[in-house]
Structure 1
Amino acid sequence: MSLRSRFTLSFTVAGVLVAAFVGVLNYRAASEHVVAQANRTLWLVTTAMAHEQSTHQALSDADTRGQALAPAPDRLGTVGEAEQAIVQVVARDGTVTHLGGPDVALPVSDSVRALAASGVPGQGEETTEIVVDGDVYCQRIVALGRDRGALQAAIPIGPTRDGLNSMAKQIAGGALAVVLAAAIAGWLLARCITRRLVRLAAAAEEVSGDCHVAWEVSVDGRDEVGRLAASFNRMIGRLAAAREAQERLVQDAAHELRTPLTSLSTNAGVLRRVGELSPHARERLLDDVEGETRELSHLVDELVELALSRDRDEAEESVELASVAHRAARRVYRRAGRLVHIDADDSVVHGRRHGLERAVGNLLGNAAKFDSDAAEPITVHIRKGTITVSDRGPGIAAADAARVFDRFYRADTARGLPGSGLGLAIVRDVAETHGGTVFAGTRPGGGAAVGFTVSSSRLLPGGAPDSAEPLDERL
């Protein structure tokens, strides 16, 4: 079942429940009101008629003694005509005397006879329903006392029941109309809610079928669906950029791998005639093979590092940039024998220790490769999340400064030197991962100054204060 169908069904069920609840409440309220009105009418009728019977009895007694009493008003006719009440008196012996209302003989049960024979004045039964000749009546019985029997009164409630039934049908019809309206409104509202989700689903299906498809979903509103659409567009953009970068990496890698592989293939062909070569030529051939193998191994390592630099599953932590520079400097000293002068404040950032150390190490290795003056140390300058590595090499031309961080790019001055052209590209990826940028330029006095920054939002409180004393140390 689709989400739109679920929404429609939910609104319909809610409409059914509300309509049923309101309809039942209305019907019960009307029914209780009718029953209460009938009971009140019967109570008024029996009370009035009991008073009439007491008044007639008093008049009879007064006539017997020769007294004159004013007759009570005739309320029987008024009450009987107004309510169509059937009133009769049941004597002690069960004889019935019709007093008013339609000429209908009410059934006299044993309980009525017992109440007429021995009931005290005012004693009566609860209101009950009886059926006479197919018609439904509501009756009440009250004992008159003093051997006068009991008063039995009833009013027809069949028309009232018919009215209640008609009202129930009207309520059911109204409930059905409410349910239909709820279903239609639910469908329209569900269509409005899910329209953007349907577009998102279509876009996701299209992209999953062909990752080269460029798709952008229109963003409507600032609610959850609008935020989802905006996030989806950002995700598609990042996927497209990642796909483009991946294809570019593969193409560049294929181009760079072709050279050492071609050289190794040529040398392998020469090795087939190794017996014809002079000892000096064999030595040069073996040195060439070893060098190409090292370059190829280094290139593969750099490619793996570059591919994993953004996706490395490394937890972020508090990293002191000075300690990162020290570890990278020690490694460069072990490998190249170059001294490193570190001038650092106490900048502490929230980032990935391994990535930052790799970036600083690549900068130092790059400086050691181009700076042939081993007598002077390479300088690392760290201030407020900015790391700058300076050397005294040939420097970087203005035309090359904007491209030295591209993958496999090598300036004219670096083409004869070993390297893969990926070291600075890894530095750029690390910087971007930490919200920073990279830069390259000329060092005052000659040489190059290359480095990267870390986003100021990643600087931890207390890191790189203005009054911090720099750490000046030589490794």
Structure 2
Amino acid sequence: MTVIAATAIAVSVFVSFQVASELMNRKLLDTAEDQLHADSRVLATNAERAGLAQVPLPPYPGSGRLVRVILPDGSTRTPAGQPELPPVSEQAGRVAEGASTDLLESADWDDGYRVYTLRTGDGAVQVADLADDSPINEFGFGMLVIGLLCVAGGALVGRTVARAALAPIDRLTAAAVRVADTRDLDADIPDEGGGEIRQLIQSINDMLAALRESRQAQRLLAEDASHELKTPLTSLRLNVELLIRLDRRGTLDSALPAESRTRLLHDLGAQVAELSTLAAELTEVARGDVSDESTELIDFADVVVAAATRARSRMPDIEVALDVSSVWVTGRPAALQRAVLNLVDNAGKWSPADQPVQVRLRAAGASAVLEVDDAGPGIDAADAPRVFDRFYRADSARALPGSGLGLSIVQRVVDAHGGRVTVARSTRGGALLRVSLPAASAPTASAGFAAGKDTAAR
């Protein structure tokens, strides 16, 4: 900023000097020409009275104007002691001969004279002066001194203002370096300064607050995951240790009858499946909103049907009834399918074997509405506000498999797609989970296909 201020002042002074010098030079030239005209007219008047050959020419005083009389024969008269002027030019000679009334010459004279020739009688008179650049030089020197002083003063003022204006930036930089070195996200940067600097500090404080929340969420996720992993891992370890101990003793067959071994192996398989599910859900939660999958225009009905097909293969004892209509949305197909699968899995845990899980999809205004309900005991009013929290499990659900992450993932996916998920009680007495997503316009080429997409399947 100091260099910029000094440079700007230097450029301003230079431009001002050029303009002022040009204006001053023009003014001096105009004044000198006016004076030449006036002096030549006085000399011409005297020559007309006394004649060109007899007009008195006082001795040259040593400085000032130079005069010369051009006689009809082309000869010249000059005052005694006057410096010799350049020879009469061809153009001035023609003026003396009557070709013109007057002439001002300066560009073609090497000695720097300005000569004004005025026709008088049968000849002419000339008045000349020596071009004097001293006023311009003195003016330029004065402007140079003033310019240097202005540049120095501007640099000093610019540096002072810059240091005062950038002092909050220096403190902000120091605070940012301190946070980076200490990893202390709890130390807010003091809100000082004004304008853009204050906005910058507030933005950085907001960023630090977001980082604090993210770190807290990571800590809670690690603690909750550790707690959730402890139970299935302990059970799995005890069962495996039991099998190893009995096998080493050679009493595996006698101590565990075939029915007990089958039940134990079934428990081990269920525990491994539960750990796999929990690991996948933890990975999904830890990824947050970061996904490499791109959004695209999709028929939500295809996603629901695919999720229901996967749910049937995972829960062969539970019937899934579909009643879906073609509704187009913009989103990530894999993420939406995972959310729908979690909804169906959750309903399958509670639905009696003789009651299907009902999945309905329809268009409602500008939204695509998905409903999944079961005929289970439903969700208590006290648990409804927390069913979408991570790792939250109602007291009645602690005996069932699961980690409490499924519905949390559903809410995150729905929020990422600009939708809303709610919980209510279905007409069959169970839980009704409803997802609303912004609908999109169907491709024109698919209009005929969409009309035949409505289906009800079991």
TM-score range, shorter chain: 0.7 to 0.9
Question: Which residue in 1 is equivalent to 2:26?
Answer: 32
Question: Structure 1 residue 43 and structure 2 residue 20: aligned?
Answer: no
Gaps of 5+ in 1: 1-6, 61-71
Query: For the Cα contact (< 8 Å) 1:46–1:151, is it kept in 2?
Result: yes
Q: 1:34 offset after TM fit, Å? A: 0.8
Q: In 2 relative to 1, CA 427–137 (structure 1 residues): closer, same or farther, beyond 3 Å?
A: closer
Question: Which residue in 2 is equivalent to 1:68?
Answer: none
Normalising by structure 2, report the TM-score.
0.77
Picking from 364, 375, 388, the partner of 2:371 is 388
Moved more, 342-351 or 415-424: 342-351
Which amino acid in 2 is paired with 1:317?
Answer: E
Question: Which residue in 2 is equivalent to 1:351?
Answer: 331
Secondary structure of 1:312's counterpart equals coil
Moved more, 298-307 or 172-181: 172-181
Give the Cα separation in 1 of the matches to 2:436 and 2:289: 16
Matches within 5 A, 1:68-467: 85-89=65-69, 96-98=77-79, 105-111=82-88, 120-121=97-98, 126-127=105-106, 138-140=113-115, 142=117, 151-155=125-129, 158=132, 161-180=133-152, 182-183=154-155, 186-187=158-159, 190=162, 194=166, 198=170, 201-202=173-174, 204-214=176-186, 215=188, 218=191, 231-270=203-242, 271-274=244-247, 275-277=250-252, 278=254, 279-280=256-257, 281-337=260-316, 338-344=318-324, 347-380=327-360, 382=362, 383=364, 384-454=367-437, 458-460=438-440
Normalising by structure 1, report the TM-score.
0.75
Moved more, 392-401 or 205-214: 205-214
Give the Cα separation in 2 of the matches to 1:311 and 1:59: 108
Q: Alignment RMSD, CA only? A: 4.3
Give the Cα separation in 2 of the matches to 1:198 and 1:157: 58
Q: In 2 relative to 1, CA 473–226 (structure 1 residues): closer, same or farther, beyond 3 Å?
A: farther
Secondary structure of 1:258's counterpart equals helix
Moved more, 212-221 or 427-436: 212-221
Which amino acid in 1 is paired with 2:411?
Answer: R
Q: In 2 relative to 1, CA 147–272 (structure 1 residues): closer, same or farther, beyond 3 Å?
A: same
Secondary structure of 1:171's counterpart equals helix
Query: For the Cα contact (< 8 Å) 1:116–1:144, is it kept in 2?
Result: no
Q: 1:20 offset after TM fit, Å? A: 0.7
Q: 1:25 offset after TM fit, Å? A: 0.9
Q: In 2 relative to 1, CA 197–328 (structure 1 residues): closer, same or farther, beyond 3 Å?
A: farther
Give the Cα separation in 1 of the matches to 2:326 and 2:195: 42
Query: For the Cα contact (< 8 Å) 2:326–2:453, is it kept in 1?
Result: yes
Which amino acid in 2 is paired with 1:55?
Answer: R
Secondary structure of 1:399's counterpart equals coil
Q: In 2 relative to 1, CA 461–174 (structure 1 residues): closer, same or farther, beyond 3 Å?
A: farther
Give the Cα separation in 1 of the matches to 2:241 and 2:329: 53
Query: For the Cα contact (< 8 Å) 2:336–2:413, is it kept in 1?
Result: yes
Give the Cα separation in 2 of the matches to 1:237 and 1:108: 89
The alignment-based identity, stated in percent, is 30
Give the Cα separation in 1 of the matches to 2:195 and 2:78: 83
Q: 1:335 offset after TM fit, Å? A: 2.2
Query: For the Cα contact (< 8 Å) 1:86–1:104, is it kept in 2?
Result: no
Deviations 1:350-389, CA, capped at 9 Å, x for gaps? 3222222211110100110121233434343554344332
Q: 1:461 offset after TM fit, Å? A: 5.5
Secondary structure of 2:383's counterpart equals helix
Question: Which residue in 2 is equivalent to 1:52?
Answer: 46
Give the Cα separation in 1 of the matches to 2:454 and 2:375: 22
Moved more, 192-201 or 359-368: 192-201
Q: In 2 relative to 1, CA 96–164 (structure 1 residues): closer, same or farther, beyond 3 Å?
A: same
Query: For the Cα contact (< 8 Å) 1:125–1:140, is it kept in 2?
Result: yes
Gaps of 5+ in 2: 444-450
Q: In 2 relative to 1, CA 109–472 (structure 1 residues): closer, same or farther, beyond 3 Å?
A: closer
Secondary structure of 1:168's counterpart equals helix
